[in-house]
Amino acid sequence: MIDKYTNSKMATSSSMDLEIDCIIKLGGSAVTFKEKFETPNMEAIRQAAILIAKIKKKCIIVHGAGSFGHFQAKEYGVAKGWNGQADIDLVRKGFAITRVSVLKLNQLIVEELVNHGLPAVSYSCIGSWQTDNRKVLKSDVDSISSLIEAGFIPVINGDCMLDRSLGCTILSGDTIIEELAEKLKPKRVIFLTDVAGIFDKSPEEKGAILLSRVMVSASGELQTSIATSTLTHDVTGGVAKKLQTAQAIVTKSMGRTPVIVCKLDSKDAELVCCCGNEDYIGTLICLSPTS
């Protein structure tokens, strides 16, 4: 008889043998109008579906919440958790309301992917993942691997999460990607956003320069100066969090998993996602050659 420990080892080995081509993050700013309450960008979602339909290898889709969920999470203090809060029931209410909002967007994205002939299925982290003071304590990568092995495309969103120390918190899509990249070792991670890549300062500022490469040292330090800003209702960290995620992925993989940031609705996105082409406009975040 095969014991539970052996089963666990087999599942882990299976996950690592999947040969995931890419993990794609659909940015909340790209698939929604982020400053307009619960307003999807249906044209961008359609373009994402057209693009993903062209990918012939195994991939995972993770999407941000954008204008879905962030407003509610901030209003009810969900990211801070209910432990130590004066009105725990109010935070629990906010937890539920935030999830309802985020799942609306997830449904729209999954439905559009299915309408384009893709076997896309929604996967929720709640209940099977757990955090402790916002750090991932337990994940369920094997269930995601099983979906991929069965021929499906998992579509995952940042979500409300039970947290051992805080009671609850928000598990961002970027944190999910970091965990998946470490366990599944994809060939690359691609962030599709509403702008061409990472700039040296906000792209809305005059004189902002698109960075074609951002180097990360072996110790995980950025070797490029970048100024970042976050919208007031964004509870998951904005651009700064994405950079932290990219740094962690590049460092933990010792440079084997590069991170690419480019514009969703562009020819460059197709070059990166479908062809692995290096001749694109965007930002490559990779390990410094001197590391």
CA 142 to chain centre: 18
| Nearest residue to 8 (alpha-carbon basis) of 166, 140, 200, 157 | 140
Q: How far apart are CA 102 and CA 88, in angstroms?
A: 21
Predicted TM-score of the model (pTM) = 0.89
pLDDT, residue 13, reads 43
pLDDT at 151: 96
Torsion of CA 208, 210, 213, 217, to 10 degrees: 30
Per-residue pLDDT band at 247 (split at 50, 70, 90): very high
pLDDT digits (tens, 9 = 90+) for 81-114: 999 777 999 999 999 999 999 999 999 999 999 9
- Closest to 217 measured CA to CA, from 181, 247, 197: 247
Q: Say what the pLDDT of residue 242 is.
A: 81
pLDDT band at 290 (very low <50, low <70, confident <90, very high): confident
Helix, strand and coil content of the chain, in percent to the nearest 5, comes to 40, 20, 40
- For 231, the 3-state DSSP assignment is coil
Question: 8: Cβ–Cβ under 8 A, 6 or more apart, which residues?
Answer: none
Provide the pLDDT confidence category of residue 11 given band limits of 50, 70 and 90.
very low
Question: pLDDT tens digits, residue range 118-130?
Answer: 999 999 999 899 9
Would you say residue 12 has pLDDT above 60?
no
Residue 167 φ/ψ, nearest 5 degrees = 90, -55
Chain-centroid distance of CA 100 in Å reads 19
Residue 229 has pLDDT above 70, yes or no: no
- Collapsing DSSP to helix, strand or coil, 175 comes out as helix
The separation between the first and the last C-alpha atoms of the chain, rounded to the nearest angstrom, is 47
pLDDT at 9 (0 to 100): 41
Convert the pLDDT of each residue in 22-80 to its tens digit.
999 999 999 999 889 999 999 999 999 999 999 989 999 999 999 999 999 999 999 99
Choices 3.40.1160.10, 3.40.50.300, 1.10.10.60, 3.90.960.10: CATH for 4-287: 3.40.1160.10
Give the pair of three-digit tokens for residue 47.
């373009």
* DSSP assignment letter at 80: G
pLDDT at res. 238: 64
For the chain, the structural domain boundaries read 4-287
